[in-house]
C-alpha cells in the first residue's frame, strides 16, 4: 500500500478532517519533550471514539503498519516519538470526563483528559487527584497510565497505578477489553489492567480510564531542613516518618539551592548554608501534629542531623518553600544538562549517590552535578550541567559514557534505570541493566499475546 | 513413569524425609478449607530452598506432572485442593523471615511465613503489616499473594497487592525471576510482579517476597451505628469518609446481630433494635478527630440515617465492638451455610443486595439470608442458613441454583463473582460472568507464557 493510499484510507477511519500530514503537525505530534530523535511520522490521526480506535488498529494489523500513541507529549523517554514513519494516534479529541460517582469516589475519563483538568475536576467535587508533577498542565491521563507517572506525592499516594480502578483498552489485536470495571476487590484471575499501566503503549491503547479520587488534604504544611551532609537526610526521613504521615519528602543539594537563589525571585528559607536540603510536607490536621513535627525537628537538630530549618505558617509560605524544589528543573535548563532518572531502595541512596559522584568526579572533575529528587521513594534525578565553555557535542559525547557508568552502578545496587520516566527509546538499549534476559524474554512473549503483529509502538521499551 | 518411580525421584529433589505419601498427610495437605472436592494428591513435598523448588518444576516439566502449591490451606475456593493426583508443593519449611530494613520499611520473607508471624514481627519493629483477616493465624504470605488477600482493612490499606514490593518467583518453565526488587519507582517495562499476585499458583511459585510495612495505627477507635434500612448505610459511609480516614467500614444485618447476641458472650452495643449495623474504625489521633466523628454521628442521626450508636472509649470496648462483626462467620457455621463472596462498586451495593434478596426470597421464602461484609470496598458476604429441618443434600442442591442467580445479577451489575477468595475450582466454571471471552483467551495465553506445559495448578481459575 502506498503512503498516499494509507492516508486516504485513514481519512475513512476517523473524521476526514482528523488526519494531518502537514509538516508542522508531523513535527508537533511526532515527538515528546525529548530532543534526541527526529520526528518522522507518516501521519497524525485524531480518533474521536473507541470505535475509530478499533478501526485504526484493525487497519494497521491488516497492513502491518506501526502505530504510536500520543498524549500530552510531555514524556522524557521518547516513548511517544514517531521517528520511523509511524501513524501517530493522538487522543487530543478524546478528552471528556464521562462520569463521576461520589460514593465510589471515581471519575471515568477519556485518555486525552489533561492531568490538571482531572485535578481541577476532583477539587470541584471536594475531592483530590493526588498524582502531581511538573507537566500536569499538559500531560494526559492516557499518557500518565502508559508511563505509570509518579511525581512529588508518591511517598503518600503511590504511583498512577494506585489510582486506576478500571481500564478500557483496545489491544494491539484490535480487541476491546474492559479491565476491572472500577472494582476495589476482584479476585477473578490475572489482573491484566496492571500490564497496561506502564506499558508505554506497546500492548494497546487505553480508550477509557476510571480513576479513583481521594479526600482532599487538610492544612498542608511544609518544612525545609538543612543538613550537614547527605547521609544525615536518611535518619531525618526515618525520624519524621515514624511520627507523621508525610505527603512528600524531597531533597536537593546546595548547588541546586544556589541556582535557585541566583534567580532572585524565591526567598531563602533561612540564613545557614547547608550541604543538602530536605523538603517535607504533611497535613497539620491538629496542633498536636504540628507540635510533633516541631519536636521531631528539634530532636534532629540535637542529633546533629539538621543545621537549620523552617516550617510554613501560611499557604504563601508553603508555596514559597515548594518553589525551592519545583523551580530547579526549569532553572538549570539554562545549562542544557544531562539528566537521568534512576532509583534504588531508600536505604541504599547515600552509598549509591556517593558512587555516582565518585565516578563522574574522577573522569570529569570539571562537571557540576546537581542532585535533587524524591528521596522518600528512592528516586533520584541526576543532573550534570554543561560547563559554559564546552561545546554541546563534546558535552553530550562525554555524557554517553556517564550513562554507562551510572547504569552499571544502578545494576550493582539492584536499582531501576528508569524510576518514573519510562524506557521509550532513550533507555531501551540499557534495559538489561534492570531486567534479566529471562524477564525480557517473558516481556516480549507477553507483548506478543496482546500485539501479535508488533504494530503497537514498535522500537520502544525493548532493545533495538 | 510409574507413581512409585515419581515418588522415588521426588526424594532425590527435596530432602528425603520431606516427601510424604501416607494417607493422613495426603488428606491434610491435599486440601484447603473448602469441603467440596476430595483430596487425592500423589505426594506431598516440602522443599527447603529455591533450588529445590526449581528442581521440582524442572522434573514436573520433563514428565508433564501437575504441581499444586500449598500454603496455610485456609483458602475458600479450592485453589489449593489437589483432587487429581497432583504433587502438592508445601511451603511449610520455607518459613523464615530473611531480612528487615527500617529505612525501607520492608521485610523479606519466605512464602511459608504465617500472616500473624509477619504481623507480630512488624509490631516488634514498631511497624505494622495491615492486611488482616480471620485466618491470619494460619494463612501464609505465599498464599496471601496467590489470592491477593483482602480482609477487613482494605478501605484504608488496600489488598495484599499494595504491600508486595518485590517477588522472587519460579515460573512454570522453571526460571527464577526477580521481580521489582523492592523498589518503589520502577518504570522499566511490564510489571510482571502484578501477574503473580492473585494468580492462585497457576503461573509459578513465589519463593521469596519483600513486603512493605506501615506506621502502626494510633488509638484505633470503633463506632457501631444502627440504621433503619440498608440504604441509609450508604450516606453514613459517605459522611464519615468525607471527614475521617476510615480504617474499616463493615456492615451486618439484624439477623447476624441476633445470632451473635444468642451466643451470650458478646455485649450488645446499645438497646435499640435496628435493621442493619455499620462498624467503622478510625485513628483518633487527637481529640479534634474524635469530636469530628461524634459530630458526624449526630449529623447522621439528624438525617434519620442512624437510629443509635456507640463509640469505643477503651481497647476493651474496641475489641468488644469488633467481636460483633468478627464472630459472625464462626457463629453461623452451625447452620452449615451456603456462602458467596462477591463485589460491586460501592454505589451499587444497595440495589444489588435488594435484587439478590428478591430472587432468593421468591424461590425459597423459607431460607434465612445473613448479610455481612466490607461495604467500604463493595465486598459482600452472602450467607444463606440451612433450615434446620432440611437435609443437607436438598439444601445444597437448591443452593446450586442460587449460585446461578447470584452470578447473573453480579454480571448485570458489572461486579466480581469472587471479591477476595479467588476462583480455584469452586468458581472456575462461572468465570465468564466476570471476564469476557476475549479476556479469558488472553489470560490463557499469558498463562502459557509462564507455564508452557500447563503443570502449574491445572484445573484452577479457568473453566474445566
Of B355, B354, B344, the closest CA to residue B415 belongs to B344
Q: Do A103 and B186 touch (CB under 8 A)?
A: no
Q: In B, which residues are within 8 Å of A460 by CB distance?
A: none
Query: Is B101 at the interface with chain A, CB within 8 A?
Result: yes
A-chain residues within 8 Å CB-CB of B378? 183-185
CA distance B365 to B387: 11
Domain layout of chain B by residue ranges: 1-216+429-464, 220-329, 336-421
SS3 annotation, B306-355? CCEEEECCCHHHHHHHHHHHHCHHHHHHHHCCEEEEEECCHHHHHHHHHH
> Is there a contact between B186 and A434 if contact means CB atoms under 8 Å apart?
yes
Write the DSSP assignment of B76-140 as a string of letters.
Answer: SSSTT---SSPEEEE-TT---EEEEETTTTEEEE-TT-BHHHHHHHHHHTTEE-----TTTTT-B
User: Is B112 within 8 Å of chain A by CB?
Assistant: no
pLDDT of residue B464: 86
Whether B106 and B118 have beta carbons less than 8 Å apart is answered as: no
User: Could you report the predicted ipTM of this complex, rounded to two decimals?
Assistant: 0.97
C-alpha cell at A282: 504533611
Cell representation of residue A247: 505527603
Cell numbers of B426, please?
A: 469452586
Q: Which stretches of chain A score pLDDT less than 50?
A: none
Smallest Cα distance from B387 to chain A, Å: 30
CA dihedral A70, A73, A77, A79 (to 10 degrees): 10
CA proximity to B246, closest of B220, B276, B267: B220
Total Cβ atoms within 10 A of residue A219 = 13
Under an 8 A CB cutoff, do A347 and B445 touch?
no
Equal CATH topology for A3-90 and A220-329: no
**Do A103 and B347 lie within an 8 Å CB cutoff?**
yes
CATH class of B1-216+429-464: alpha beta
In chain A, what residues touch B197 (CB-CB under 8 Å)?
A: 191
Backbone angles phi, psi at A411, to 5 degrees: -60, -40
pLDDT of residue A92: 98
Burial A421-442 (b: 16+ CB within 10 A, else e): bbbbbbbbebbebbbeeebbeb
In chain A, which residue's Cα lies nearest the Cα of B429? A188
pLDDT confidence of residue B286? 86
Please report the sign of the dihedral spanned by the C-alpha atoms of residue A342, residue B159, residue B74, residue B405.
negative
State whether A377 and B186 contact (CB < 8 Å): no
Residue A59, helix vs strand vs coil: helix
Q: What is the DSSP string of B198-236?
A: T-TTSSEEEEEEEEE-EEPP-SEEEEEEEESSSTTHHHH
CA distance B40 to B161: 31
The CATH code belonging to domain A336-433 is 3.30.70.2740
Of B233, B247, B385, B407, whose CA–CA distance to B307 is shortest?
B233
What is the end-to-end Cα distance of chain A in Å, rounded?
25
| CB pair distance less than 8 Å for A435 and B103 | no
Q: Yes or no: is domain B220-329 CATH 2.30.110.10?
A: no
Nearest one of A182, A394, A210 to B434, comparing CA atoms: A182
A410 within 8 A of A344, measured Cβ to Cβ: yes
Q: Which DSSP state fits B294?
A: H
Closest to B422 in 3D by CA, of B119, B60, B145, B95:
B145
CA quadruple A328, A333, A338, A341: dihedral sign: positive
H or E stretch at A260: helix A254-263
- Between CA A370 and CA A464 the distance in angstroms is 31
Residue B74's contacts (CB-CB under 8 Å, 6 or more residues apart) are: B32, B33, B135, B138, B139, B143
Q: A435 vs B189: CB contact, 8 Å cut-off?
A: yes
In A181-266 the beta strands, taken as DSSP E runs, fall at: 204-212, 214-215, 220-227, 246-253
B264 CB burial (10 A radius; 0-12, 13-18, 19+):
exposed
Query: From edge to edge, which strands make up the β-sheet containing B176-179?
Result: B97-101, B106-109, B204-212, B164-171, B176-179
| B275 in Cβ contact with B228 (< 8 Å) | yes
CA-based nearest residue to B376, from B158, B169, B171: B158
Measured distance CA(B79)–CA(A369) in Å, rounded: 53
Q: Which residues of chain A have a CB within 8 Å of the CB of B183?
A: 343-345, 378, 415-416, 419
Torsion, Cα of B236, B241, B242, B245 (10° steps): 150
**B102 close to A (CB below 8 A):** yes
A residues 207-226 closer than 8 Å to B (CB): 215
Topology of A3-90 in CATH?
3.30.43
Q: Return the pLDDT at B46.
A: 98
CATH class name, domain A97-215: alpha beta
Could you report how far apart the first and last alpha carbons of chain B are, in Å? 25
Nearest CA to CA, how far is B436 from chain A (Å)?
Answer: 8
Q: Is A262 helix (H, G, I), strand (E, B) or coil?
A: helix
Per-residue pLDDT of chain B (464 residues; tens, 9 = 90+): 999 999 999 999 999 999 999 999 999 999 999 988 999 999 999 999 999 999 999 999 999 999 999 999 999 999 999 999 999 999 999 999 999 999 999 999 999 999 999 999 999 999 999 999 989 999 999 999 999 999 899 999 999 999 999 999 999 999 999 999 999 999 999 999 999 999 999 999 999 999 999 999 999 999 999 999 999 999 999 999 999 999 999 999 999 999 999 999 999 999 999 999 999 999 998 888 999 999 999 999 999 999 999 999 999 999 999 999 999 999 999 999 999 999 999 999 999 999 999 999 999 999 999 999 998 999 999 999 999 999 999 998 999 899 999 999 999 999 999 999 999 999 999 999 999 999 999 999 999 999 999 999 999 999 98
Tell which CATH classification among 3.40.50.410, 3.40.50.620, 1.10.10.10, 3.30.70.2740 matches the domain B336-421: 3.30.70.2740
Q: How far is B129 from chain A (nearest CA, A)?
A: 15
B-proximal residues of A, 163-202, CB under 8 Å: 171, 175-179, 181-192, 194-195, 197-199
Amino acid at each position: 500500500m502506498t503512503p498516499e493510499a494509507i492516508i486516504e484510507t485513514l481519512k475513512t477511519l476517523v473524521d476526514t478532517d482528523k488526519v494531518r500530514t502537514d509538516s508542522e503537525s508531523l513535527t508537533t505530534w511526532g515527538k515528546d519533550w525529548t530532543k534526541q530523535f527526529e520526528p518522522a511520522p507518516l501521519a497524525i490521526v485524531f480518533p474521536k471514539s473507541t470505535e475509530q480506535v478499533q478501526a485504526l488498529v484493525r487497519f494497521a494489523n491488516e497492513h502491518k503498519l506501526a502505530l504510536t500513541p500520543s498524549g500530552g507529549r510531555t514524556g522524557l523517554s521518547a516513548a511517544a516519538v514517531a521517528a520511523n514513519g509511524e501513524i501517530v494516534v493522538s487522543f487530543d479529541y478524546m478528552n471528556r470526563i464521562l462520569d463521576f460517582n461520589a460514593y465510589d469516589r471515581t471519575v471515568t475519563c477519556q485518555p486525552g483528559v489533561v492531568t490538571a483538568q482531572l485535578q481541577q475536576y476532583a477539587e470541584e467535587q471536594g475531592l483530590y487527584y493526588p498524582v502531581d508533577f511538573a507537566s500536569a498542565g499538559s500531560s494526559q491521563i492516557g499518557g500518565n497510565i502508559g508511563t505509570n507517572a509518579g511525581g512529588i506525592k508518591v511517598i503518600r499516594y503511590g504511583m498512577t497505578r494506585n489510582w486506576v480502578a478500571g481500564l478500557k483498552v483496545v489491544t494491539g489485536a484490535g480487541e476491546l477489553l474492559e479491565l476491572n470495571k472500577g472494582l476495589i476487590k476482584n479476585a477473578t484471575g490475572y489482573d491484566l489492567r496492571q500490564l497496561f499501566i506502564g506499558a508505554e503503549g506497546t500492548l494497546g491503547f487505553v480508550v477509557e480510564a476510571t480513576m479513583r479520587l481521594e479526600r482532599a488534604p487538610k492544612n498542608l504544611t511544609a518544612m525545609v531542613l538543612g543538613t550537614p551532609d547527605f547521609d544525615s537526610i536518611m535518619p531525618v526521613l526515618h525520624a519524621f516518618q515514624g511520627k507523621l504521615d508525610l505527603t512528600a519528602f524531597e531533597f536537593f543539594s546546595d548547588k541546586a539551592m544556589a541556582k535557585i537563589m541566583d534567580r532572585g525571585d524565591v526567598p531563602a528559607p533561612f540564613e545557614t548554608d547547608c550541604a543538602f536540603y530536605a523538603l517535607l510536607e504533611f497535613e497539620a490536621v491538629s496542633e498536636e501534629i504540628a507540635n510533633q513535627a516541631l519536636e521531631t525537628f528539634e530532636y534532629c537538630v540535637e542529633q546533629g542531623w539538621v543545621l537549620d530549618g523552617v516550617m510554613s505558617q501560611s499557604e504563601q509560605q508553603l508555596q514559597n518553600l515548594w518553589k525551592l524544589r519545583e523551580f530547579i528543573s526549569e532553572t538549570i535548563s539554562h545549562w542544557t544538562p544531562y539528566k537521568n532518572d534512576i532509583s534504588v531502595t531508600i536505604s541504599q541512596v547515600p552509598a549509591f549517590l556517593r558512587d555516582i559522584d565518585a565516578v563522574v568526579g574522577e573522569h570529569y572533575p570539571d562537571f557540576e552535578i546537581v542532585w535533587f529528587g524524591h528521596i522518600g521513594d528512592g528516586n533520584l534525578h541526576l543532573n550534570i550541567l554543561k560547563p559554559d565553555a564546552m561545546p554541546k557535542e563534546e558535552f553530550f559525547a562525554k555524557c554517553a559514557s556517564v550513562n554507562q557508568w551510572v547504569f552499571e552502578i544502578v545494576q550493582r545496587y539492584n536499582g531501576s534505570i528508569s524510576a518514573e520516566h519510562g524506557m521509550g527509546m532513550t533507555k531501551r538499549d540499557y534495559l538489561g541493566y534492570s531486567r534479566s534476559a529471562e524477564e525480557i524474554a517473558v516481556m516480549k512473549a507477553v507483548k506478543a499475546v496482546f500485539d501479535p503483529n508488533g504494530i503497537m509502538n514498535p522500537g520502544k521499551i525493548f532493545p533495538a
